[in-house]
Chains A and B, each alone.
Chain A
């Protein structure tokens, strides 16, 4: 199965990259893009056919390695 893990800075954490990208977009005339938050995206190919197992494995990997819980949160999609 494939799991997609989206890691983003928590809303309370300042995102210097996202802020800079937003400013760049504003300078290109995209005033309607009010803000940008940048994150990381991981695709995990998992050796299982069980959705629950896949989700648990992806969550374990995200908790332990992919995300730093002090500053980041994550969302998982499994298919």
Chain B
């Protein structure tokens, strides 16, 4: 499979995502510069962490105007799998590809640590190989990961089962002490209504090798590989659409 890793000026986890895709999972990977206007045959897109365009106004606010975001949106609308990690999640929110917005962390501190995440939904391309209720230990590193959605939107997101991961204690129990940033309903990851676009604050690409302190992030990559393989074997649309772009 072919991973497209989008690089904005200020991205700094692009090489980690590229490394995970290529060296850990043995897949093809391609960097896509934010000024590119085509996706070079990518089957799955990753918007990596960092500080796109410096994040001077709001996190992710300027990146949505980058030329690559047109093809990204079209890819998402065709059902192609898109994963936003950390700043990539913030960009997907600002682009309107995912619902909600990010606020400064409760407590205002930049949090860089391992967190525990309970898998809430397994019918997304990035969580299909996980078990519902499974607890993943994956690192975060962010100052603005305090997920917020207005009451009405939040109700909709919960009703549509769009919350993919929640911050919990190590046993998978909701506990505000284990919510690192104050996110509403302890939300760590959401998907769109169609479920092919997922944004998550934690960094699965940093948790794919024992050397890095844990391998719980692997399931995110394994899920999308399994999802793409089954789509390919069924000759479903996301595959062929991705290639045609």
A: residues with CB less than 8 A from B are 9-10, 12-17, 20, 65-66, 68, 70-71
Chain A proximity of B49: nearest CB distance (Å): 20
| Given the contacts A14-B182, A16-B104, A16-B107, A71 and B148 also touching, CB distance less than 8 Å | yes
Q: Helix, strand, loop or mixed for chain A's interface? A: loop
A70 touches B103 (CB 8 A): no
Chain A proximity of B62: nearest CB distance (Å): 8
- Among B57, B108, B148, the residue within 8 A (CB) of A13 is B148
- Specify which chain B residues have a CB less than 8 angstroms from the CB of A20 in the assembled complex: 108
Query: A36 to B112, alpha carbons, bound, how many Å?
Result: 28
Tell me the chain B residues, 101-142 only, with Cβ under 8 Å from chain A: 101, 103-108
- Count of residues in B whose CB is under 8 Å from the partner chain: 21
B151 touches A16 (CB 8 A): no
- Specify which chain A residues have a CB less than 8 angstroms from the CB of B101 in the assembled complex: 68, 70-71
- Specify which chain A residues have a CB less than 8 angstroms from the CB of B78 in the assembled complex: none
- The reply to whether the CB of B161 lies closer than 8 angstroms to some CB of chain A is no
- Specify which chain A residues have a CB less than 8 angstroms from the CB of B62 in the assembled complex: 65
- The reply to whether the CB of B149 lies closer than 8 angstroms to some CB of chain A is yes
B94 touches A68 (CB 8 A): yes
Across the A-B interface, give the 6 residue pairs with the lowest CB-CB distance, nearest first: A70-B101, A71-B101, A16-B104, A16-B106, A68-B101, A16-B108
